[in-house]
Copies of this chain bind each other. A is one copy, B any other.
Amino acid sequence: MDIKETAIRIAKRAMSASPTIRTANTKLKNNVLQLIAEKIEQKKSEVLKENEKDIEIAVKNKLSKALIDRLSLNDKKIQLMIESVHQVIMLTDPVGEIFDMRTRPNGLKIGRMRVPIGVIFIIYESRPNVTIESAILCIKSGNTAILRGGKESMNTNRILSEIIRESLNEAGLPKDGLIFVDSTDRELVQELLLLENYINLVIPRGGESLIRAVAEKSRIPVIKHYKGICHIYVDKDADESKALELCLNAKCQRPATCNAMETLLVHKDLSKSFLPKMVDKFISSGVELRGCPKTRKLFPNISRATEEDWHTEYLDLILSVKIVENLEEAIDHIEKYGSHHSDGIITENYTTAWVFVNSVDSAACYVNASTRFTDGFEFGLGAEVGISTDKIHCRGPMGLLELTVPKWIIFGNGQVRE
Q: Contact check: which of B370, B413, B415 meets A417 at CB < 8 Å? A: B370
Q: By the criterion CB–CB under 8 Å, are A253 and B117 in contact?
A: no
Q: Within the assembled complex, what's the spacing in Å between the Cα atoms of A389 and B370? A: 39
Interface SS of A by simple majority: mixed
Query: Which of A3-11, A53-61, A151-159, A390-398 makes up part of the contact surface?
Result: A390-398
* Interface flag for A335 (CB, 8 Å): yes
Segment of A126-134, A273-281, A372-380 engaged in the interface with chain B: A372-380
A361 interface residue, CB < 8 Å from B?
Answer: yes
By size class, the interface of chain A is: 35 or more
Residue in chain B with minimal CB distance to A370: B416
Knowing A379-B408, A408-B364, A414-B239 touch, does A221 contact B392 (C-beta < 8 A)?
A: yes
Chain A 188-223 interface mask (CB, 8 Å, partner B; 1/0): 000000000000110000000000000110010111
Residues of chain B within 8 A of A417, CB atoms compared: 249, 253-254, 370, 372-373, 378
Verify B395–A393 contact, CB threshold 8 A. no
Most buried by B among A118, A369, A370: A369
Q: Is the CB of A118 within 8 A of B368?
A: no
Contacts of A373 in B (CB 8 A): 108, 410, 415, 417
Evaluate contact between B393 and A393: CB separation under 8 angstroms. Answer: yes
**CB-based contact B249/A380 at 8 Å:** no
User: Is A298 an interface residue when CB atoms closer than 8 A count as contact?
Assistant: no
Q: How far is the CB of A320 from chain B (nearest CB, A)?
A: 21
20 contacts between A and B (CB under 8 A): A19-B359, A96-B358, A104-B378, A108-B373, A216-B219, A221-B392, A223-B392, A239-B414, A246-B416, A253-B416, A361-B407, A365-B408, A368-B411, A369-B410, A369-B412, A369-B413, A369-B414, A369-B415, A374-B408, A391-B405
